[in-house]
Structure 1
Amino acid sequence: MTGDSSGTIVERRTIDAVPLSERHGRTRDLFTIWFSANLGPLTVVTGALAPTAFGLSFWWSLAALLAGHLGGGFLMALHSAQGPQLGVPQMIQSRGQFGYVGALAVVLVVIVMYQGFFASNLVVGAQSLGQVAPVGERTGVVLGALVSLVVAVVGYRLMHRIGALTSWVFGAVQLAGAAWLLFGGLPDGFLDRGGFSLAGFLGMVSVGALWQIAYAPYVSDYSRYMPADRAGVRSTLWCTYAGCVLGSLLPMVVGAAIGLAGGDDPIASQSALLGSPLGQITLWSFAVVTMLTNSMNLYGAVLCAVTAVQTFAHRWLPRATGRAVIGAVLTALSVVLALALADSFMTSYLNLIYVLQYVLIPWTAINLVDFYLVRHGSYDVASFFARDGGIYGRWNVTALAVYALGILAEIPFMAQSLYTGPLAHALGDTDLGWIAGLVVTVPAYLLAARLTASPATRSGLPTPVAASAPTSGAPTT
């Protein structure tokens, strides 16, 4: 296994552009890594929210999950298709919309997101491991964090290879468990439990959509090494879409069924319903898959941290050792967070989902409109790394203003424990904030970008990746 053309095992690159000579892989690899990344216990726990938090019946849970994942997954996959075209991480590409410094606002939000999901996965992964091995919760959290750190430091290729293996092995385990539960393993009458409310249905649609959109800030990090000539937009999009949507829908549907079957702990309930040995095998698969998923969360967090620091330390571009140090610091922070929220996990996790949907929706709308409708995929990659932001400048006031407008448009439609907007309350406490964010941000940015863009900016001044952006000459650590 090689990390790049230098023949090293550990990946050397961080946020610099991947030159054409180092491009490799097949778009079908995107299916396996995203399918396997979603086969963990946190996905089951999220699916269980449909009946336990939103009071939905099984069939209404299924409808809400389908609507949320199918819609949100398409937006997420559109981001994945950007990777082979530009060869840079997603948050670096955001400098093309928000400016060299302006993109920092979104980068910091995304780092918080990574840490939240990393900690959440550590909690449920440790709980899964603790039920099949004599390992306490604290030990399980630390063990899972260390394995994820090692995988993230080795980097891109190892994560793809683990994803390819676990897709088939643990995918089969998940299918067997789902078949066992849905065709006779659940208690009689579970289909009669739960009900329907518009607020609950739309709330679960939001959860499903946000699950997919939460990958948007780093989904192209796993396609940026793909050869641009072989990884077309459509192939990259549909392979990512199919893997992520199928991989998340299967365990979430199981989670919804388990939530209706009863029990405060969906993971323990699933194991009990499956019995031995399938329940134990499923728990082992959860523990391992969680480590892969968290390695991806950590890898993305490290790239964002490097992006944030490099905004002010222009010549700083760390390599493998630097990634390892930053990864260790972020891992330690997530371990502390996981141990702190373990006792109130479900409440903390649901609050994280709500906050993320409000800040990510306007960003994803701006990024996709800019890439597909304004610049049509043409960017000056060298400007992403220029101290003055090149043709994109240090601050794009237009994009930042529209981003703020999108968040403001969501406030009257928010419905959560901390705040319920007046329009949401008038609609029966139904949370439509993310829909309002999309509806306002898309046309507002499209209009503002076309009114303010210069001819050069509209064209994007495309330049070859290998010649236009830092690839190997920056200082290393």
Structure 2
Amino acid sequence: MSERSSQDPLIESHTVEQVPHAERHGRARDLFTLWFSTNIAPLPIVTGAMVVQVFHLNLAWGLLAIVLGHCLGGVVIALSSAQGPRLGIPQMVQSRGQFGRFGALLIVFFAALIYVGFFISNIVLAGKSIHAMVEPISLPLGSLIGALAATAIGVLGYRFIHTLNRIGTWVMGGALLAGFAFVFSQPLPVDFLTRGGFTLAGFIATVSLGVIWQVSFSPYVSDYSRYLPSDIGIAKPFWATYAGATLGTILSFSFGAVVVLATPPGTEAMTAVEQATGVLGPVLMLLFLLNIISHNALNLYGAVLAIVTAVQTFIAHWTPSVKVRIVLSALVLSGCCVVAVGASGDFIQDFIGLILALLLVLVPWACINLIDFYLIKYGDYDIESIFAADGGQYGRFNWHAIIAYACGIAVQLPFANTALYVGPYAHLVEGADLSWLVGIVVTCPLFYCLATRKQQRAERLRAGYAK
């Protein structure tokens, strides 16, 4: 397994084309550090605090639901990550092999929208953090500083992102463990273990939140494993990604629940972090700011890859240069900064609500992606067809996948419980969005049946021609 050569360029030269086998390098454990470090951040901590503040679970039931949700959802992100070394192409490009060359465009659009949404939200969050720590720096200037730093990391690309997160694993992981230690070294409120209780709705809502959190990474997780050697197999990248993604989020969610229980009821989550960790509070807030910037580079990187994928759908033989990727990054940065600077005070909450609503389109896509890769094609895709102008053997549209995808979205709508839309059956379990579960139950068998029927028909035709 080759390591990075000293002659390798600092700025990544590849975009959406297949990474040549001669340029494959790295180790599976790099996936652990990437996804562990990425999830030691304010947003998962704030989300973890909801377990106590919104779903009213006590510490024991809350921790159990957190672990269960992320362990279940982690299977999706790990199976998606393990596809990268086998094919050497970004996740959205691979979707052409499932939906057809033009059929995949809708998925690419939704993925780009999610990337941009998170990028803008993190710009605003970084600006607020910088302004809070250095008051003379205005909120717009702080947002611009955070955006420029994330863009620089995103432009440098794959290798630098992995290097940064290897360092971040030790720094952020150590800081979070120190925060836990400080909280438990101090006198705890008398209701620390008894505040809240058990409700079925709260437990299911927390489990669902964990599953959805992990699934949200699946559209771009293999983008960060595609440089690994193709002979690395499935198991190593699977377990490295699974361990990193689940452990990082479980720790952050749990920390959010612990700090709000260690402070008076109703304390805002990040305020609770500062109050509960004492002298460590300012250090943690600074490290969280740095991690927001580092993590936001992944959003920009994914957005640029999605845009390139969309453009290349219509210009089959176009391979963008490093300069083109830099220009696209600058354009995305400019547009996002304009939105971020003019954002309202509750922008982050509103935009996250929009993004979570868009997850309705990710669940059926993830089902089709995994079923097709592992049960239909067994990882055997024709790369030339994926990049062919007419879609090659995958065609311009694969209607079996498109029909299953549309049905998967449609069956979720009656059960959806989002900021944009609440379905008529959304409150079967109060506070829990179970639409993802319905989407899985319908999409997986439907797509499998349609895909295998198509495969059997093709085999019968080939047999007929042979005779």
CA contact 2:4–2:26 (8 Å) conserved in 1: no
Corresponding position: 1:394 with 2:381: no
Q: 1:425 aligns with which of 424, 427, 430?
A: 427
Which stretch has the larger CA shift, 421-430 or 314-323?
421-430
Mapped partners of 2:297, 2:38: distance in 1: 10
Q: CA deviation at 1:123?
A: 2.9
**Which amino acid is the alignment partner of residue 133 of structure 1?**
V
**Which amino acid is the alignment partner of residue 96 of structure 2?**
R
Task: Go from structure 1 to structure 2 and tell me whether the alpha carbon gap of 1:195 and 1:444 turns closer, same or farther (over 3 Å shift).
Answer: same
Partner residue, 2:275: 272
**Which string of whole-angstrom CA distances, capped at 9 and with x for unpartnered residues, describes residues 408-448 of structure 1?**
11122222454433333344464210000001001111011
CA contact 1:3–1:11 (8 Å) conserved in 2: no
Partner residue, 2:297: 295
**Which amino acid is the alignment partner of residue 446 of structure 1?**
Y
Mapped partners of 1:39, 1:153: distance in 2: 22
Alignment of 1:404-443 (within 5 A): 404-428=406-430, 430-443=432-445
Which stretch has the larger CA shift, 384-393 or 122-131?
122-131
Corresponding position: 1:130 with 2:128: no
Partner residue, 2:464: none
Q: Matched residue of 2:285: which SS? A: helix
CA contact 1:149–1:295 (8 Å) conserved in 2: yes
Which stretch has the larger CA shift, 372-381 or 415-424?
415-424
Partner residue, 2:379: 377
Corresponding position: 1:188 with 2:195: no
Aligned length: 455
**Which amino acid is the alignment partner of residue 246 of structure 1?**
L
Partner residue, 1:87: 88
**Which amino acid is the alignment partner of residue 159 of structure 2?**
R
Mapped partners of 1:211, 1:111: distance in 2: 17
**Which amino acid is the alignment partner of residue 153 of structure 1?**
V
Partner residue, 2:357: 355
CA contact 1:369–1:446 (8 Å) conserved in 2: yes
Mapped partners of 1:185, 1:177: distance in 2: 14
Question: Structure 1: which 5+ runs fail to align?
Answer: 459-477
**Which amino acid is the alignment partner of residue 297 of structure 2?**
S
Task: Go from structure 1 to structure 2 and tell me whether the alpha carbon gap of 1:11 and 1:350 turns closer, same or farther (over 3 Å shift).
Answer: closer
TM-score normalised by structure 2 residue count: 0.92
CA contact 1:15–1:92 (8 Å) conserved in 2: yes
Partner residue, 1:320: 322
Mapped partners of 2:187, 2:125: distance in 1: 23
**Which amino acid is the alignment partner of residue 19 of structure 1?**
P
CA contact 1:42–1:121 (8 Å) conserved in 2: no
**Which string of whole-angstrom CA distances, capped at 9 and with x for unpartnered residues, describes residues 358-405 of structure 1?**
111100000000000001110001111101001000111110110010
Mapped partners of 1:179, 1:456: distance in 2: 61
TM-score normalised by structure 1 residue count: 0.90
Partner residue, 1:30: 31
**Which amino acid is the alignment partner of residue 148 of structure 1?**
A
RMSD across aligned C-alpha pairs, in angstroms?
2.2
Mapped partners of 1:53, 1:347: distance in 2: 15
Partner residue, 1:61: 62
CA contact 1:213–1:360 (8 Å) conserved in 2: yes
**Which amino acid is the alignment partner of residue 396 of structure 2?**
R
Q: Matched residue of 2:425: which SS? A: helix
Mapped partners of 1:455, 1:441: distance in 2: 21
**Which string of whole-angstrom CA distances, capped at 9 and with x for unpartnered residues, describes residues 261-312 of structure 1?**
3455322321222122x11111111111111101111111110010011111
Percent identical among aligned pairs is 44
Mapped partners of 1:171, 1:56: distance in 2: 25
Which stretch has the larger CA shift, 58-67 or 29-38?
58-67
**Which string of whole-angstrom CA distances, capped at 9 and with x for unpartnered residues, describes residues 172-216 of structure 1?**
111110222245365332332233333332222222111111111
Corresponding position: 1:240 with 2:250: no
Q: CA deviation at 1:3?
A: 8.4
Mapped partners of 1:366, 1:302: distance in 2: 24
**Which string of whole-angstrom CA distances, capped at 9 and with x for unpartnered residues, describes residues 194-251 of structure 1?**
333333322222221111111111110010000111x220000000111111111111
Task: Go from structure 1 to structure 2 and tell me whether the alpha carbon gap of 1:360 and 1:438 turns closer, same or farther (over 3 Å shift).
Answer: same
Q: Matched residue of 1:25: which SS? A: coil
Mapped partners of 1:209, 1:359: distance in 2: 15
Partner residue, 1:334: 336
Q: 1:216 aligns with which of 211, 215, 218?
A: 218
**Which string of whole-angstrom CA distances, capped at 9 and with x for unpartnered residues, describes residues 311-368 of structure 1?**
1122322121111111122223333343454511463255135313311110000000
Task: Go from structure 1 to structure 2 and tell me whether the alpha carbon gap of 1:152 and 1:347 turns closer, same or farther (over 3 Å shift).
Answer: closer
Partner residue, 2:75: 74
Partner residue, 2:100: 99
Partner residue, 1:343: 345
Task: Go from structure 1 to structure 2 and tell me whether the alpha carbon gap of 1:336 and 1:47 turns closer, same or farther (over 3 Å shift).
Answer: farther
Which stretch has the larger CA shift, 341-350 or 249-258?
341-350
CA contact 1:131–1:283 (8 Å) conserved in 2: no
**Which string of whole-angstrom CA distances, capped at 9 and with x for unpartnered residues, describes residues 106-136 of structure 1?**
1100111111221222233333333433433
Which stretch has the larger CA shift, 371-380 or 134-143?
134-143
Q: 1:227 aligns with which of 226, 229, 242?
A: 229
CA contact 1:23–1:226 (8 Å) conserved in 2: yes
Mapped partners of 2:268, 2:459: distance in 1: 53
Q: CA deviation at 1:43?
A: 1.7
Q: Matched residue of 2:453: which SS? A: helix
**Which string of whole-angstrom CA distances, capped at 9 and with x for unpartnered residues, describes residues 17-62 of structure 1?**
0000100001111111111111111121121222233333322321
Task: Go from structure 1 to structure 2 and tell me whether the alpha carbon gap of 1:346 and 1:10 turns closer, same or farther (over 3 Å shift).
Answer: closer
Which stretch has the larger CA shift, 360-369 or 334-343?
334-343
Task: Go from structure 1 to structure 2 and tell me whether the alpha carbon gap of 1:426 and 1:242 turns closer, same or farther (over 3 Å shift).
Answer: closer
Mapped partners of 2:157, 2:4: distance in 1: 7
Mapped partners of 1:257, 1:345: distance in 2: 27
Q: CA deviation at 1:455?
A: 7.4
Which stretch has the larger CA shift, 104-113 or 333-342?
333-342
Mapped partners of 2:107, 2:378: distance in 1: 22
Q: Matched residue of 2:112: which SS? A: helix
Task: Go from structure 1 to structure 2 and tell me whether the alpha carbon gap of 1:238 and 1:426 turns closer, same or farther (over 3 Å shift).
Answer: closer
